[in-house]
Amino acid sequence: MGLHGCFHRHQAAAQGQRQQALHYAPRALGGLWRVPAAALFPPLVILFLALLAGAWQGIGRERRVVISPLQRIDVTSAFLPSQDAPPGLPEGLHPQTLALRQAVPPSQYGEHSEALMLTSSYVQPDAATSARRFAGEEAGYTYTRTANPTVTSFEQRLAALEGTQCAIAAATGMGAISLMVFGLLKTGDHIVASRSMFGSTIKLLGTELARFGVETTFVSQTDVAEWKAAIRPGATRLLFAETPTNPLTDLCDIRALADVAHDAGAWLAVDNSFLTPVLQRAAALGADLVIHSGTKFLEGQGRVMAGAVCGPHDLVEEKLGPFIRGAGFNLSPFNAWVALKGMETLHIRMREQSRHALELAQWLQTHPKVARVYYPGLASHPQRALAQRQHEGGDGAVLSFDVVGHDAQTLRANAFAVIDHCRVISKTTNLGDVKTTISHPATTSHGRLSEEQRQAAGIGQGLLRISVGLEYPKDVQDDLLRGLGGL
Q: Which of 297, 296, 307, 311 is nearest to 336 (CA)?
A: 307
What percentage of the chain has pLDDT greater than the value 70? 82
Strands (E), 157-255: 166-170, 190-194, 215-219, 236-242
pLDDT for res 448 = 81
Measure Cα distances from 281 to 25, 315, 343 in Å.
Answer: 80, 18, 16
Cα–Cα distance, 485 to 487 (Å, whole number):
6
Distance CA 451, CA 391 (A): 33
DSSP run (H or E) holding 156: helix 149-162
Identity of the residue numbered 346: L
Q: What is the pLDDT of residues 25-47, one digit of tens each?
A: 444 444 444 445 555 555 555 55
Between 64 and 373, residue with greater pLDDT: 373
CA–CA separation, 403 and 399 (whole Å): 13
- pLDDT given at position 48: 54
Tell me how many helices (H) and strands (E) the chain has.
18, 12
CATH 3.40.640.10, applies to 95-116+141-345: yes
pTM: 0.82
CA nearest to 325, candidates 146, 138, 121, 140: 146
The residues spanned by each domain of the chain are 3-71, 95-116+141-345, 347-484
| CA angle in degrees (0–180, nearest 5) for 265-269-272 | 160
Contact by Cβ (8 Å): 295, 407:
no
Q: Is the pLDDT of residue 227 over 90?
A: yes
Per-residue pLDDT at 15: 43
CA distance 408 to 398: 24
The pLDDT of residue 84 is 52
A 10 A CB-CB count for 270 gives 26
| Neighbouring C-beta atoms of residue 127, cutoff 10 Å | 8
352-368, pLDDT tens digit by residue?
A: 999 999 999 999 999 99
Same CATH fold assignment for domains 95-116+141-345 and 347-484:
no
Give the separation between CA 69 and CA 332, rounded to whole angstroms.
31
The four Cα atoms 465, 469, 471, 475 give a dihedral, to 10 degrees, of 10
pLDDT per residue as tens digits for the range 174-207: 999 999 999 999 999 999 999 999 989 999 999 9
The pLDDT value recorded for residue 13 is 37
Nearest Cα neighbor of 231 from 195, 260, 268, 202 is: 260
Q: Give pLDDT, residue 456.
A: 80
CATH number of 347-484: 3.90.1150.10
- Check whether 220 has a pLDDT greater than 90: yes
